Structure 1
Amino acid sequence: MRRLPIPDDVTGDEVDRSVRQELMSLPKTLATDVARNLVMVAKLLDEEPERAYGYARTALRLASRVGAVREAAGFAAYGVAKYSEALTEFRAARRMTGSVHLWPIMADCERGIGRPERALAMAGEPEVQQLDRAGQVEMRLVAAGARQDLGQAEAALVTLQSPELASTAIHPWTARLRYAYAEALLAVGREDEAREWFAKALDADSGGTTDASDRLAQLDGIEFVDALDPEADDLDGSDDTDADTGADVTGAADESGEDRD
């Protein structure tokens, strides 16, 4: 089996205690090998999902009967839009662990496969009541997305209306919930309200999980131009040389620091 390179400073001890406990069923050397691959999945999942997927497949080949491995493989497959594969792994992980925390992402996989009706059905199953508050918010987001998939824009809007949306408290899900509500408002033509909710999403988005600032700019008619994009030159038809000296003056603005970043 070809192994992907893993930095020496990745020991495998970085995994959560619950994962370490699951890996105790394996021989020690194998458990360490699997743990190191899982660490690489976690490190790469957001920025380099294709590489994360490769490490997840390695871990899966080594220990397919460990629930944490199946879950990691599911997230890695989800990250590269392999939704059918992700759903298979999440189902396996759920059978092994009995946990319901994967229910919302399993429903979103159904959307990815093209089965929004199934995602909506899952939103009404008893498992949803077993989710923690964050999980229930996530399920609401998935259900609203499924409504949008089905062309039910008004129903999507209603789905997102909840105590969590009305709350002024900031939680990890707040920015995404407000952003989804703003999108739903746009879908039904309520642009002024959508702008208000994009602004609220931005206020809650300290981690930059949404592009609410860009959406606000679009609604305000602001168009950002990449200063390094040659296609952006001469958009206003003006000459980039000084009228008297013939010197190129485009670099002056670049060096002044007056760009959007």
Structure 2
Amino acid sequence: MSLPKGLAEDVSRNLVMVAQLIDEDPEKAYGYSRVALRLASRVAAVREAAGFAAYATQKYSEALAEFRAARRMSGGVELWPVMADCERGLGRPERALAMAGEPEVQKLDKAGQVEMRLVAAGARRDMDQLDAAIVTLQSPELASSAVHPWTARLRYAYADALLAAGREREAREWFAKALEADKDGATDASDRLAEMDGVEFVDAFVEDEADEDESGLVVEGDLDDDLDEDDEDDEDEDDVLGRGDGDKS
């Protein structure tokens, strides 16, 4: 709203493209975010979008700078967890843990506090503190039977930490709970469960092609080989006929 109408429309188009592409093609989303940033670098929403695009392409230093700028402009704390995760991405898990203990965390909504807990647990794992990571994730939100948008990811992270600590039976139970809450396919809990159960997925289409090859059915490569062999036989036959004609003459 702070931009002239024409400029605002140009910026908004680029931001829409960032939102549409950030999951399927983060590099393209990053490109659009840079255009928006050149057009309106003093708008908090633009700096935030640029931060998420950089974060999606693992440009953590750049993402952190953009998130800090957006936070200064807006005065909000909702970016605090992703800022802490950028510190992890930069190989500084101890800074992420320090941020988890700052007063800003208490100002986050429930989703933000859960996200901060996930980041803190990840930082513990970065530091090879598996037991501490497990304890970090143990919370009323984890124990609750209610399903929220963050429930599947919280249960999945807990299951993954348990598995890393060698507690396979408990891990399997929590992967199953994560799958139960994961209505949108946000995690690969089903694949992890199948892996733990020793289930191997086979591409039926590839298997059918292999069966056809073994059964002696002609495939494209075999057909080419057969045609080449036929051509060679014809040439041999022509040679014999030619020599015969010469003998007769």
1:229 CA drift (Å):
5.4
Q: Deviations over 1:162-221 (max 9, x none)?
A: 000000000000000000000010011100110000000000000000000000000001
Residues 74 and 229 of structure 1: is their aligned pair in 2 closer, same or farther, counting only changes over 3 Å? farther
Find the partner of 2:137 among 153, 157, 160.
160
Determine which structure has more spread, i.e. the larger CA radius of gyration.
2
Matched, 1:107 2:80: no
Amino acid at match of 2:214: T
Q: Deviations over 1:92-118 (max 9, x none)?
A: 000000000000000000000100000
The number of residue pairs the alignment matches comes to 219
- Unaligned runs of 5+ residues in structure 2 are 219-249
Q: Tell me how far apart the structure 2 counterparts of residues 78 and 65 of structure 1 sit (CA, whole Å).
A: 20
Matched, 1:193 2:170: yes
Find the partner of 1:136 among 110, 113, 136.
113
Q: Tell me how far apart the structure 2 counterparts of residues 44 and 241 of structure 1 sit (CA, whole Å).
A: 43
Amino acid at match of 2:42: R
Amino acid at match of 1:112: G
CA RMSD of aligned residues (A): 1.9
Moved over 2 A (4+): 225-230, 238-242
1:241 CA drift (Å):
3.3
TM-score normalized by the length of structure 2: 0.84
Amino acid at match of 1:96: M
Name the structure 2 match of 1:223.
200
Q: Tell me how far apart the structure 2 counterparts of residues 173 and 202 of structure 1 sit (CA, whole Å).
A: 12
Structure holding more helix per residue = 2
1:47 CA drift (Å):
1.1
Secondary structure at the counterpart of residue 203 of structure 2 = coil
Deviation larger for 153-162 or 217-226: 217-226
Q: Tell me how far apart the structure 2 counterparts of residues 165 and 115 of structure 1 sit (CA, whole Å).
A: 26
Name the structure 1 match of 2:34.
57
Q: Tell me how far apart the structure 2 counterparts of residues 164 and 180 of structure 1 sit (CA, whole Å).
A: 13
Name the structure 2 match of 1:213.
190
Q: Tell me how far apart the structure 1 counterparts of residues 205 and 86 of structure 2 sit (CA, whole Å).
A: 38
Name the structure 2 match of 1:174.
151
Percent of aligned positions that are identical: 77
TM-score normalized by the length of structure 1: 0.80
- Unaligned runs of 5+ residues in structure 1 are 1-23, 249-261
